[in-house]
Amino acid sequence: MRILGLVTGALLAGSALAVPPVSSNARRQDLGFTEVTTPSLGAQIVVTKDNTLNGTGSFLEDQIIDPLLEEDSVVSLPLNFVNNMRTGNPVYAYISGIDKDGRVVFVRADGTFLIGMAINPPGGEPFQVTVPAALISGRVYFSDNERLQFFVVATPSGDGVVQPSVAARDDPNVSRHWGFMEFTFNQDGSLFANLSFVDFVGLILSISLQDRQTNQTLITRGLGPNAVRDMCNGLTQQAAKDRQPWNKLCISRNGNLIRVLSPGIYQSMNPDAFAGYYDGYVDRVWRRYTPANPLRVDTQRADVGVVKCASRGDVLVCERADAPFAKPSSKDVWGCATGPFANDDGASGPHKAIVPRICAAFARATLLIPGGGVQPGPKPADYYRDSPANHYSRLVHALEVDQKGYAFPYDDVNPYGVPDASGAIVSPGASHLTVYVGGSG
């Protein structure tokens, strides 16, 4: 493994101010937040499928690739970075992705792809850089006051980059204040950009794009500048109510908050956390929905329609599903991808439609409220009102400026007529993409 980017990043020199901490003396208040420190230099970096971007190229030699010299490079995407932080600290930006040849690349300030080391272009406000050709699985990382580190590893298909992680205690980036947005820029010029809060809330970002054809501006404002502080206030209150470790999701360094983890990420690091949290609720759901009173799941597919689900012993049996559903644990509900909610590639279409709707109902605690006999059925105003629920997701949505941005994997499951809650903006041809660091103001 080699370090990629000890001296890296596009510097955004900004004058506006950053997210204030919950309190300047959070430790003295003993709010129970999780304090992190910088890992030692000898710490091992954990490499998993979730934090590795794999390519087909090799990093044996550093290479600078100029896509503008390649005959089939006909598209480019101007990026604008606006620093709305309030600390006066420098902000570092990193643009990565996979190019048309399957190579993992970083984008330099001069519009070339840099392979084998991270970017270190000059800065300014707003900082402007051009993505010179199509990129998939793109990310733009931003870090407050400290540079991020990336690592090169060998993979079966070629060299890959270990990206910063909030779930690995020995990752040198775990004690830094950072965040990212995702994008895919296709060879036809179409653009998909997204904000997501599924794993954590960190450095606050907003995104907007200008559509070249319509001149329309599309924007996802995401969370407000004080969201981390406000979420931790809410999570501390929730922890006092149900004696669950919601306050532990708040990560601080030297007493200052830097991020909020989702309960799924926190539990992956602390397996005993939230143990049994959903057990009583699951049992009540099983008792409610019997063959005489089945749960109705609207798959929202014309070829499947509404299916009935009823408990039989320790499983929930749904029409058209590939197999019965065992009782889910809290871990299963947080991630919607394990236990009964594992949805592998070989699953049938009906099964793939049933899983997200049942998991979303557990996350939002809508199965036992009035109208909960049809899923999705209750409106967003009724989400998270019952208990237990995913209170991280509840607070994310409560604090979103424009109610956009996923807070758990199937947050796009909603009844007909409910606006799309994703943080995605899409254009067949964008003239530029702007990212606001610290929020859109």
Cα within 13 Å of Cα(172), Cβ side: 16
Same domain for 432 and 294, yes or no, is no
Query: Which amino acid belongs to residue 190?
Result: S
Please check whether residue 315 lies inside any domain of the structure: yes
Residue 186 in domain = yes
State whether 291 and 189 are in the same domain: no
- Asked if the structure places residue 283 within a domain, the reply is yes
**Residue 265 covered by a domain:** no
The answer to whether residues 205 and 118 belong to one domain is yes
Provide the domain limits for residue 128: 2-227+426-437
pLDDT in tens, 173-194: 999 999 999 999 999 999 999 9
Tokens representing 282 are 């699951």
Say if 244 falls within a structural domain: no
Question: Can you name the residues that pair with 93 across neighbouring β-strands?
Answer: 10, 142
pTM: 0.86
How far apart are the C-alpha atoms of 41 and 39, rounded to whole Å?
Answer: 7
HSE-CB at 155 with a 13 A cutoff on CA atoms is: 23
Answer yes or no: is 340 within a domain.
Answer: yes
Specify whether 60 is located in the same domain as 207.
yes
- Domain count across the chain: 2
Q: What is the pLDDT of residues 47-98, one digit of tens each?
A: 444 444 444 444 334 443 444 444 455 689 999 998 888 887 888 889 999 9
pLDDT along the chain (441 residues), means of 10: 45 38 43 80 46 43 43 75 84 90 82 47 60 93 90 72 90 95 96 97 97 95 97 98 98 97 98 98 99 99 98 98 98 98 94 98 99 98 98 98 96 93 94 92 56
Q: What is the pLDDT at residue 30?
A: 63
Residues 34 and 83 grouped into a single domain: yes
Query: Which residue, among 278, 376, 373, 291, has the nearest Cα to 328 in the 3D structure?
Result: 278
Residue indicated by tokens 């030297």: 254
> Which domain CATH number covers 364?
3.30.920.50
